[in-house]
Structures are given as C-alpha cells and as structure tokens.
Structure 1
Amino acid sequence: MKIGAVIPVYNHGGPIAGVVAALRAHGLPVLLVDDASEPGCAAVLDQLASQADVTLERLPVNQGKGGAVMAGLRRAAELGWTHALQIDADGQHDTRDVPAFTAAAVAEPAQMICGYPIYDDSVPKARLYGRYATHIWVWINTLSLAIRDSMCGFRIYPLAGTLPLVERQHIGRRMDFDTEIAVRLFWSGMGIVNVPTRVRYPEDGVSHFRVWRDNVLISAMHTRLFFGMLVRAPMLLWRKALA
C-alpha cells in the first residue's frame, strides 16, 4: 500500500509551498498538477518539484479542478501509488488531520475516505448554507446518508477502484467533480468512510468558484445523477436492505 498526495494547482503560488511542506512532514510523496497556472505560480511549482518525492505534472491547457485531479490520479498510478490523497492547494484543509485519513485508509483500503468539514468562523455563511442543497440532492441520488459531505476536496481514493470508473464514465471536470465522483463511486459499490476535518477560509485565499458558471454545472450534474439514480434505484434499495 502506497499513499501519496495529489494537489490540483491553479494560481496558488502563495500557499502551495506550505501545503507541500506539511504533507512531506507526514511522510507523503506529493504530486503537483499544474492546471496551466500563470508564470509566477508555475515557477514556484518548478522550484518545489526539485525537492525529493515531489513530482510535477503540467497540463498545457486549463482543465478545471476535476480535470486536474483525474490527470493526477492517472499519474499517481504510473508512479506506483495504490491510494491518492486529494487536498486543495489553498491551505484551507488542515494537514494535521492527514494521519487520521491515512489510518482510515489502512484500516479500509478498498473504501473512499471522505472528509466532512468542521468549520470555524471564517467560513462564508452563504457558502455554508448553500452546501446543504447539494447534501440533500446527494442523499436523494444515493438513497442513502452514507456520504456526509460530497463537496469536501480532502479525501483518499483507492486507485484500483477509482481509475476504472474515471476511464469509463463522464465525470464533471470543474467544481462539479468532487460530488459527482463520490456519488458514482458509491453507486459502483465502493464504501464510504467519513472522517471529520477542520476547514478554514484564509482571508487572502484564492477561490476559483464562478457563481453562475459553476452553479449551472452543479445543477446539470444533479439532474444527470437524479436520472441515473432512477435507473439504479432497485439495486440501491436492495443493497440498503442487505446492509
């Protein structure tokens, strides 16, 4: 079992060095996926990639967060990793929780380890309350409460069960990615282990969430998943009855 960290990066030149240092302090190799960042950030990533156990995958055209993560998962498998810890580049995820995530993966290596956030006062209230719409749709589309928070980008994927899904299914490539892949992995039969994790929103944080574009993408995703759930409902209900 080999766990490494995959970090999608798009113009996070300020906080990324601290995130990498914290992950390396936990003994994890790091794969940086440069999603066509501007030259200043790209230079920071080049410098970080000169360190031991830090690898850089550079995308020539911006793919969006989901596209960058999927490219990272493929590269992680090429590096011989069995599991990939996904974490954001902006420093909002608390890397002190990494040991809890990796311990959960060791205990349940075939399941997805999914963070569910514990927020401090820095969280924007509109974003906090807005998440509940997605939570409700996820519970409907899985006919389950198994996924506590599908939007948290701090998680561990078992690559043996995740990459075949990535290759055969259309999955949203931008801010719809985290939720869609979690639901589709649940549909595929992968178990979910929810791990609490502290999340903060730095005052100088860089957000690439685009309200109109990304809300349209997320709405379209929920629609796709709803109709997918209708087809799978007998299987999901049968599986729930047997649990």
Structure 2
Amino acid sequence: MYKLAFLIPYYNHPLKIAKLVKALNSFNQEIIIVDDGSNKASKQALDGLKVKVLTRAKNGGKGASLKDGFCFAKELGFSHVFQVDADFQHDISFCEEFISKSMQNPNAIIAANPIYDEFAPKSRLYGRKITNFWNAINTLSLDIKDGMCGFRIYPVDEICSILPSVKSDRMEFDIEILIRSYRRGIKLFWLDLKVAYEDDGVSHFRMLRDNLLISKMHARLFFSLPSYIFKVLNSAK
C-alpha cells in the first residue's frame, strides 16, 4: 500500500518551519522532522506543530539526518518519503504533481529539476554545473539533471537497501544517493520546480567544507566506476 510522509531534515531553521509545516499540512500527509541537534530556540520552534519529531543528540549533517529519517519512516510503515528542505525555498504547490507521479511509478525516485529565480547566487549555480558534470561521468549518462535539489520522493524499501553503501553524511548525500540509486537500477523521473532565494534565507552550506566533501565523494565514486562499467557490460550481453 502506498503510504507517504514528508521528511524534513532540520537544523537551526526556526523562522520558516511553522509556515512550511502549515503549508504541507494542506496535503493531508504525515510530516516527519529530523532535528539534527538544533539549538534551544530552534527546538522550541517545533513545539505544538502537527508533526512527528525524531531528535538527534548532536549535529551530524543533512545526510545523517536523512539516513535516520528513512529508517524511522520504514519503522512507522511508510512506503515513501517526500524530502523537503526546511529553508522553504521550494514551491510546494508542485507537491501534488510529484505525489501523483510517484503513485504512478511507486518504485521510482521522483526528483526536482530546479528552475532558479534571478536571485540565485552565481557561485551556487556554477557549483551545480560542476557537480552535474561529475554526475554524468559517475553514471555514464546524462540522466541526472540535478544532484543537489532537496525536493524528492523516495521509495523507502529501495533506498534503505542502498543506505549501507552511502558514505556521505552532509550536503553531498543528496548527490551520492542519486548516483548509487541510478547504478542500482532505480528509475528516476524529473519534474520542473521553481526555487526562490530570499534575503532572509538561511543556508548551512559551507563553501569550503562542503565542496571538499562533494569532491571527495565524486572521487570515491569515480574509483568504483570500473566495477560499474563491468556490471553495465554484463547486463548488456
């Protein structure tokens, strides 16, 4: 049976979380927030919200939060999770389109192809182009349109079977999980999504640290490419 929950990785995003939860509640789905060791004010911002909260003792990163969230969702009997970032940059009016596509393709990942507004930082746009170049190399394809947008529906059982092989715990997780899913043969569907950058937006992306982690992740996947090529060649026989 198809049973979906929204999954929000949360770390010190108190300003917009109530507004985001209120908007998501209109879709009549359960909401899981993984609090990744937030400060006191951010924890208090979750009080009274119509959500399930999974609390991590200390901050481990976006990837670590999502890993725990996937496992928690599976324990609760959810077949799918809809990842939505806590900064509320994504146009959630597209949620129904994503859910409908997922219900039609329950074994697939439904991922956002982001359409950015004019305020998107150039450094972030160039960084995405570079990582998408490496996505193409590490999948031998152009099938991953965007590796970093955190607005996706995942089939829980399929993803939980992949998690032991995923080393990433921070921002690079969003990229690695797609590449490993693609290599495993999970189908990806892409839907356009409007993404807005606002003056009061809070980002925990650390340019030096996270770009180094992304580079390290791509290098690790590149060195495992020969075994993937062998797998592809064997499947073609």
- TM-score (norm: length of structure 1): 0.94
1:81 is the counterpart of 2:82: no
Q: Matches of 2:107 and 2:36 in 1, distance apart? A: 28
* Mapping 1:18-167, distance limit 5 Å: 18-48=19-49, 51=50, 54-166=51-163
CA-based RMSD: 1.3
1:170 is the counterpart of 2:171: no
Question: 1:102-137 deviations in whole A, cap 9, x for unaligned?
Answer: 011011100111111001112111211221000010
Q: Matches of 1:237 and 1:176 in 2, distance apart? A: 28
Measured after TM superposition, the shift of residue 229 of structure 1 is 1.7
* Mapping 1:214-233, distance limit 5 Å: 214-233=210-229
Question: 1:134-189 deviations in whole A, cap 9, x for unaligned?
Answer: 001001100111111011110011011010111x2133000110000100011111
Measured after TM superposition, the shift of residue 202 of structure 1 is 1.7
Checking the alignment, whether the CA contact within 8 Å between 1:142 and 1:236 is kept in structure 2 is: no
Q: Matches of 1:165 and 1:228 in 2, distance apart? A: 15
Q: Matches of 1:236 and 1:96 in 2, distance apart? A: 38
Checking the alignment, whether the CA contact within 8 Å between 2:166 and 2:176 is kept in structure 1 is: no
Q: Matches of 1:211 and 1:16 in 2, distance apart? A: 24
Matched letter for residue 189 of structure 2: V
Q: Matches of 2:44 and 2:135 in 1, distance apart? A: 39
Task: Provide the aligned length of Structure 1 versus Structure 2.
Answer: 236
Checking the alignment, whether the CA contact within 8 Å between 2:83 and 2:153 is kept in structure 1 is: yes
Gap regions ≥5 residues in structure 1:
none
Matched letter for residue 55 of structure 2: R
1:202 is the counterpart of 2:203: no
Secondary structure of 2:45's counterpart equals: helix
Q: Matches of 1:87 and 1:98 in 2, distance apart? A: 10
Measured after TM superposition, the shift of residue 44 of structure 1 is 1.1
Q: Matches of 2:137 and 2:107 in 1, distance apart? A: 24
Measured after TM superposition, the shift of residue 236 of structure 1 is 2.9
Sequence identity (%) = 42
Secondary structure of 2:48's counterpart equals: helix
Gap regions ≥5 residues in structure 2:
none
- Which deviates more, 225-234 or 10-19? 225-234
Q: Which residue of 1 aligns with 2:208?
A: 212
Checking the alignment, whether the CA contact within 8 Å between 1:5 and 1:87 is kept in structure 2 is: yes
1:17 is the counterpart of 2:14: no
Secondary structure of 1:202's counterpart equals: coil
Checking the alignment, whether the CA contact within 8 Å between 2:166 and 2:177 is kept in structure 1 is: no
- TM-score (norm: length of structure 2): 0.96
Matched letter for residue 3 of structure 1: L
Q: Matches of 1:236 and 1:95 in 2, distance apart? A: 37
Checking the alignment, whether the CA contact within 8 Å between 1:143 and 1:237 is kept in structure 2 is: no
Measured after TM superposition, the shift of residue 46 of structure 1 is 2.5
